[in-house]
Structure 1
Amino acid sequence: MAASLAVASSAFSTLYRILAYAFLEVAPQSHLKYVLPVLYVAYVAASHYGAPAFSEFVAVKEESVTIAEKTETNGDVVADVVVSETTAIVPVVESPTLKSALATVLFSIPSPVRALRRANLAINTLLLFAAAEFIFFPYFDTASDVVFTRVGALYPDSAKIVVRYPSTNATENLVRVIWRQADDKTDSDAPWREGPVANLTAQHDWVQTVRLQGLWPTTHYEYRFQDINSTVLPYPSTPIRFHTAPDPRLHSGSYYRFIATSCMTPNFPYSPLGGRRLKGMDLLADYLWPSRPAAASVAVAQNVSETAHNTSAENITAPAAVNTTSSVESVAPTEFMVFLGDFIYADVPAYFGDDKEAYQRLYRRNYNSPSFRKVYERLPIIHTYDDHEIINNYAGQGNASLPPFENATNAFELYNTEANYDSVDEGQYYYDFRYGDAAFFVMDTRKYRSDIFSDDPATHTMLGDKQLTALYNWLGKVNNTAVFKFVVSSVPFTALWTYEGVIDTWAAFPYEKSALLSAFQSVPNLIVLSGDRHEFAAIEFESGDSGHNVLEISTSPLSMFYVPFIRTLKPRSEEVVNKTREEVVLLEDGTQEVIKHVDEIPRENVIRYIAEGNYKWASLEVDTRDYSHPVVRVEIMIDGKPAYHLEVVGKPVKLQSTTSLGALVPQSFKGVLDRIGLKPNKWF
């Protein structure tokens, strides 16, 4: 019995360690938070009651001498010596070698050496403490005193600014934004101007978004805060800078980058006492603002795989070498980031309930991260949301009162939504915006999605009638007014992902997806951006003989798990479309004949798929300086290194011209004065 318990102890310990490693380093499956303590208790109990196992036993003979005294009849005492022999079975205990000691500790092998048994117990106990820290740190790290500010939506004449500035022993705090135009390279000496006042209250978790207005397009500004008595506040220690959007009425060509990614939670993969770190944000900050710009430019230029792709339904060309010279000489500025959802994980590794404070605490925790602060204080960010801002695979069914939607979105609105671009429909989370020659539509894929396990599948919707109308109207509006069109979906548009993808992505809404795809293919140069799957894939939607091909770039996670070994993306769809190609044949009489062939092409086809990597983002460079050859250059970064490049060659779009006054003025009034030799900054 004791030997059996020793073997069971080893089995419990080995299984416990495998699952603990998976929980902390591979994928934090929430059910493991219950399994690990049970296995730990089973291991301790079996270790306590079980005997150590030994590899060799020997028989040891022992002689015992017994002296018995007896009295003779004459009264003398005589000693009677009795010699007896016994045999004992004892274990052979040898000093362990380094190799055997390591094997014992690594595989939890029962050992007669007490120090090794204690080492095994210590390792398993430390793993239990690590799991407990990972689970409960988000609960105890309230970050209630975090102070932060960031820039959200950028307009040509305004910008949205988020501020959190709690006040002790008060219920409200009035904070004024002061701002001025800033030189891009040196400290500005322009006077500060008073901007809007943020009325921060405990009721709204000391957070508010204000709009700074009266700005000029394509101009650098900076801001800081002061209290109601005009005293400059200590945070931020240096002013926060931003750059306003171009005037969309000026068709002078665009050249800029933006970042697209999704899915992050602090301290995963787990690192002891690293509860506030977001390693993906650290890597992103190093990518955006490298300490050695020249070396970084060369690194960017070292292409892993670059493919040219034409959105006007032409074939994919063979891989081509990157032009390292142009990459080093010119790097487009990164203007903003689109975060595609799962900004928090309310239910991973543990769900602390449908409570407003529980959700707000997770947002505060992220903004309290030194890693994230490196990015949001320098890069404007706009957001959409996905299921883990609420709970896994949430379907809102158009009912805003369906728990836990109300409390979850209360925190999402405070910290992320209000800084987004204004929705065409008031109070909605979907919105569209322009940046240069590119137009964006950001979907809400959660609030209106149907319960796919009920009713007729033909009636299932992800977007709802009102949002669908807004999206169709947007497609008609931007068809000839923007060169590139980006549709942002928190979940993949393709139906190629299996496993949970068949119920959580657009694959679960085939009728609505089919109608949308037809609409997308009526618009040139349309790219879908998505996340959610913790993998990267570039997917082409073939239009056949009519319309335009659509490209999807799905990139995640920014800082979260990926699943090794298991692959859930099919390489192509079973559905096909007909595509005609022409072949010119030279006849015997010297004439030419054009022969048409009809090929069956998969409707959806994977261009590139990379599953590995805990830290992924896409950098998209929009270049429309040559309207006859507009391109989007996609760079996929995985674990801080370039992993894939794709050049999307767009179809030329003849943009509608404008005669508005905005097309006739320089980018700023300061620019007018500079051109005639006046320096307004020296007047004050």
Structure 2
Amino acid sequence: MSAFTAIANSGISTLYRILVYLFLEVVPKSELKYIIPALYLAYAATLPAATPLFTQVVAIQEEKVVVEEKPDSNGELVTDVTVSETTLVAPVPQPLEWSSAFKSIFFSVPSPVPILRYANLAINTLLLFAVAEFLLVPYFDDASGVVYTRVGALYPDAAKIVVRYPPTTNATQNLVRLSWRQVDTKGSTDAPWRDGPLANLTADSDWVSTLRLSGLWPTTTYEYRFEDLNDTVLPYPAEPIRFRTFPDSRLYSGSNFRFLASSCMTPNFPYAPLQSRRIKGFDLLADTLWPKSSAPLVSQVVPTSSSAEAPESTTSDAVPAASHTSENATVLVSNVTLPVAPEKPEPPTEFMIFLGDFIYADVPVYYGDDQEAYRRFYRRNYNSPSFRKVYERLPIFHTYDDHEIINNYVGQGNDSKGPFPSASNAFELYNANANFDSPAEGQYYYDFKYGDAAFFVMDTRRYRSDISVGDPTTHTMLGDQQLAALYNWLGKVNQTAVFKFIVTSVPFTSLWTYEGPVETWAGFPAEKAALLSALHTVPNVIILSGDRHEFAAIEFEAGDWGHNVLEISTSPMSMFYVPFIRTLLPRSEEIVNKTRENVIVNEDGSKEVLQYVVEVPKERVLQYIAEGNYKWSWIEVDTKDHQHPVVNVDIMINGKSAYKLEVVGKPVKLQLSTALGAFVPQSFKGMLDRIGLKPSKWF
């Protein structure tokens, strides 16, 4: 055995442990699933030869006496005594010392103490089992029996409801009826249950169906449950699921509500043993939305000094939050602790927009272009008790990104291109069918309104061009049909909504570096420039994006002639972030001219206004926070004061408020409607329902 073998064994073991930690706790890089088992085998193979080098020995003198009778020269027997000495090398049993034990365990140093050698081997073997659990559970835990329901798109007069209810027998069909009733303003009800739509659940649809419940009233609470064809109430859900319809957007009385936005999630990452169904980000979100204590939830304010609870901005060039004011009066930032004032009641959180990467079909293992493999990932997420805490109580609307298909997927408008057919089938069944209806049949982009706030949700994968070929001026992210729908939506909501939210699964800014030029809108400069020019003509536009596993607030400067645009990029909901490495530039090289004024007061009291032109970055970072495995944006829209509309953004990281942003909008004179439904008292609505009058007759 050589010293080299012992050193190599220790080095292999240490490298093995580092890579296991990175794989399970930092970034689950796919390549490591091959490297880690190979290192374990190398460690086990060199372990026996590495041990003796570290065994201490001592020399022992041994005396040997030999008595022999032999005849002398006269033939008589005589006794001959021979004494000899030899030196033997013997091992010395080593006592267990804590200092050497720590070094042996922590640095994987082979030890002559058997218990330490066995402990090192056991630790490395347990780490291998942990890697195996993380890799293989998504395959063996197929969640085929999961039963769940959730609320999707909400309208003033309708709701979309998803149900998965596989039969308890080997039937090929399962018929489930939704029953529903109205809940009064006090949260109780004596209204009779009504028969709703029937769900025809089949194995071909993975026992999933999306139902549309119509004939509802705006801003009204309802509850639903499921029954079989014999009117027997099914055991799930144990309690009826409640939801509230959206207000009628044709009435302008001002809105005050909150919603959530985030992207990127996978179960049990960072890894914890035997927690394969946990999605910790949703545990934290549920605790934030519905705290166990009876005290009302109060948003936290981050102190100006750094603390262990609040991540600091990692962009040194970010504008100091306490002093920043946008030139176009669009953004005010505050992260200082102010005197506590009486707080107004917090508005309800009405829904969540999930910005993509709901599943990771290719991380850390890609199980192939197989329809069942994709469906299994969705079932596992809906089987998570962490996620169930949220989706049973909060409507969620979805878009998708590359990991619902495969990393860096480029669709090019070819729906037959693998693995899109298998991936899109699962996305439709579990998420897309419950979204708002698209303006075009069979598309995944859509728009909706909540009161006087409008939303357009893009599809950034299906039609994007391959930017490695062709003329860059012809490359498209959205495709002609979707781009036309977006421009049409902008024209429609310009005077019918105060705030306009545009949802893109990938960042709109070009400031991200690593993979940014390929993955984000930076790879489509011509289409981005044209769209941004249009956005600058519309007041109060906010872009919501995800994908980067970091948070950033970006401002797009319009110069003298238009409206600034703000982007809020938030992720991951429950996934990895990359420590130490920062990939966001503080500002763009592209600049725009902006006129500033300087007022000079003369000695005689007269005032003189001097104008001058400065160059400012086209895109600049307001705030950048990379740290945190669990991030979401909590966005409040308040348009009750028509002359002072405001959006307040609270960035939550690891369950705590990390950054606050106030967006002061510009007043918009909206086109009014005379719709009657929202003025009808809820008690009167119930009476009208009983005699068969439907809301559609009032609008």
Distance 2:586 2:69 in 1: 95
Structure-1 residue corresponding to 2:314: none
Superposed CA offset, 1:644-678 (max 9, x none): 11111111111111234447x4264635979xxxx
Q: Which segment is superposed worse, 252-261 or 310-319?
A: 310-319
Equivalences for residues 601-680 of structure 1 within 5 A: 601-662=616-677, 665-666=679-680, 668=682, 670=684
| 1:8 to 1:644, Cα distance in 2 relative to 1, 3 A | same
Q: Does 1:233 align with 2:234?
A: yes
Show CA shifts across 1:577-628 (max 9, x none).
1111001123456543221121111111111111111111110011111011
Give, in angstroms, the shift of residue 184 of structure 1. Answer: 4.6
Distance across 1 between alignment mates of 2:650 and 2:464 = 32
* Structure 1 residue corresponding to 2:451, chosen from 436, 439, 457: 436
1:403-418 equivalences under 5 Å are 403-418=418-433
1:452 to 464, 467, 470: 467
CA distance in 1, matches of 2:69, 2:139: 78
The answer to whether the 8 A contact 1:311-1:650 is kept is no
TM-aligned CA distance change 1:416 to 1:80, over 3 Å: same
Deviations 1:524-567 (A, max 9, x none): 10100011111111111111111111111111111111111111
Q: Conserved in 1, the CA contact under 8 Å of 2:335 and 2:660?
A: no
State the SS of the aligned residue for 1:271.
coil
How far apart, CA to CA, are the structure 2 residues paired with 1:317 and 1:379?
29
Question: 1: distance between equivalents of 2:30 and 2:648?
Answer: 38
**CA deviation after TM superposition for structure 1 residue 481, in Å:** 0.6
Q: 1:201 maps to what in 2?
A: 202
Report what 1:96 is aligned to: 96
The question of whether the paired residues in 2 share the 8 Å contact of 1:309 and 1:649 is answered with no
Who is 2:311 aligned against? none
Give the 3-state SS of the residue equivalent to 2:390 in structure 1: helix
Is residue 430–residue 443 contact of structure 1 (8 Å, CA) maintained in 2?
yes
- The residue number in structure 2 matching 1:158 is 158
Residue of structure 2 equivalent to 1:302: 301
1:124-523 correspondence to structure 2 within 5 Å: 124-167=124-167, 168-294=169-295, 296-297=297-298, 300-304=299-303, 313-314=328-329, 319=334, 321=336, 328-523=343-538
Asked if structure 2 preserves the Cα contact closer than 8 Å seen for 1:178 and 1:225, the reply is yes
Report the residue type matching 1:332 in the other structure: P
AA at the equivalent of 1:408: A
Do the aligned partners of 1:555 and 1:617 also contact (CA within 8 Å) in 2?
yes
Hey, what's the Cα distance between the residues in 1 that align with 2:138 and 2:423? 16
Do structure 1's residue 114 and structure 2's residue 114 form an aligned pair? yes
Instruction: Tell me, in whole angstroms, the C-alpha distance in 1 between the residues paired with 2:553 and 2:231.
Output: 52
Deviations 1:389-432 (A, max 9, x none): 01111111110111000000100000000000000011000000
In the aligned structure 2, how far is the partner of 1:356 from the partner of 1:617? 30
Letter of the aligned partner of 2:137 in structure 1? F
Distance 1:434 1:635 in 2: 21
Give ranges in structure 2 of 5+ residues lacking alignment: 305-320, 689-699
Question: Which residue of 2 is the match for residue 23 of structure 1?
Answer: 23
Task: Provide closer, same or farther for how the CA distance between residues 77 and 455 of structure 1 changes in structure 2, counting only shifts above 3 A.
Answer: farther
Cα separation, 1, equivalents of 2:356 and 2:342:
30
- Residues 295/90 of structure 1: CA separation in 2 closer, same or farther (3 Å cut): farther
- Offset at residue 69 of structure 1 (A): 3.9
**In structure 2, do the counterparts of structure 1 residues 301 and 647 end up closer, same or farther at CA, with 3 Å as the change threshold?**
same
Structure 1 equivalent of residue 695 of structure 2: none
CA contact (8 A) 1:307 1:645 kept: no
- The letter of the residue matching 2:625 is I
Using a 3 Å threshold, how does the CA distance of structure 1 residues 169 and 184 change in structure 2: closer, same or farther?
Answer: farther
CA distance in 2, matches of 1:327, 1:451: 55
TM-score by length of 1: 0.94
Pair 316,624 (structure 1): closer, same or farther in 2 beyond 3 Å: closer
Tell me what 1:679 maps to: none
Preserved CA contact (<8 Å) 2:2 2:53: no
Q: Distance in 2 between the 1:388 and 1:223 partners?
A: 33
**TM-fit CA distance, 1:207:** 0.2
The answer to whether the 8 A contact 1:496-1:571 is kept is: yes
Query: 1:96 offset after TM fit, Å?
Result: 3.1
Q: Which amino acid aligns with 2:640?
A: R
Equivalent position SS for 1:204: coil
How far residue 90 of structure 1 moved from its aligned partner, in angstroms, is 5.2
One-letter identity of the residue aligned with 1:563? V
Partner Cα separation in structure 2 for residue 245 and residue 272 of structure 1: 42
Identity of aligned residues (%): 66
2:149·2:163 contact (CA, 8 Å) conserved in 1? yes
Shift of 1:349: 1.4
Cα shift at 1:571: 1.1
Q: 1:574 to 1:80 in 2, by over 3 A?
A: farther
SS in 1 for 2:54: coil
d(CA) in 2 for partners of 1:215, 1:512: 41
- Report the AA paired with residue 179 of structure 2: I
| Amino acid in structure 2 at the alignment position of 1:393 | N
SS of the aligned residue for 1:53 comes to helix
| Contact 1:219-1:667 within 8 A present in 2 as well | no
Q: Which residue of 2 aligns with 1:545?
A: 560
**In structure 2, do the counterparts of structure 1 residues 509 and 332 end up closer, same or farther at CA, with 3 Å as the change threshold?**
same
Which residue identity lines up with residue 279 of structure 1 in the other structure? K
Distance 1:426 1:296, change over 3 A: same
Go from structure 1 to structure 2 and tell me whether the alpha carbon gap of 1:169 and 1:616 turns closer, same or farther (over 3 Å shift). same
Root-mean-square deviation (CA, aligned residues, Å) is 2.0
Q: Contact 1:585/1:593 (CA < 8 Å) preserved in 2?
A: yes
Distance 1:211 1:184 in 2: 24
Q: CA deviation at 1:150?
A: 0.2
Secondary structure at 2:79 match in 1: strand
Q: 1:206 to 1:14 in 2, by over 3 A?
A: same
- For 1:41, the equivalent position in structure 2 comes to 41
CA distance 1:220–1:327, shift in 2 (3 Å): farther
Counterparts of 2:646 and 2:71, CA distance in 1 = 119
* Aligned residue identity for 2:421: E
Task: State how far apart, in whole Å, the 2-side matches of 1:644 and 1:439 are.
Answer: 24
Counterpart Cα distance in 1 of 2:290 and 2:233: 28
- Asked if the contact 2:218/2:677 (under 8 Å) is kept, the reply is no
| SS of structure 2 residue aligned to 1:502 | helix
Deviates more, 1:599-608 or 1:57-66: 57-66
Distance 1:411 1:500 in 2: 27
- Paired residue secondary structure (1:296): coil
Range that drifts further, 595-604 or 115-124: 595-604
1:208-246 deviation digits (Å, cap 9, x = unpaired): 101000000000000001111211111111000000000
**What number of residue pairs does the alignment pair up?**
671
Give how far 1:201 is off: 0.3
> Which of these residues, 575, 583, 587, is aligned with residue 572 of structure 1?
587
Q: TM-score, normalised by structure 2?
A: 0.92
Say if 1:249 and 1:662, in contact at 8 Å, map to a contact too. no
Kept in 1: contact 2:300–2:656 (CA 8 A): no
Give the corresponding residue for 2:317: none
Query: Tell me, what secondary structure is at the counterpart of 2:85?
Result: strand
Distance 2:671 2:524 in 1: 35
Q: Cα offset for 1:6?
A: 1.8
Q: 1:282 to 1:198 in 2, by over 3 A?
A: same
> What amino acid does structure 1 have at the position aligned with 2:301?
Q
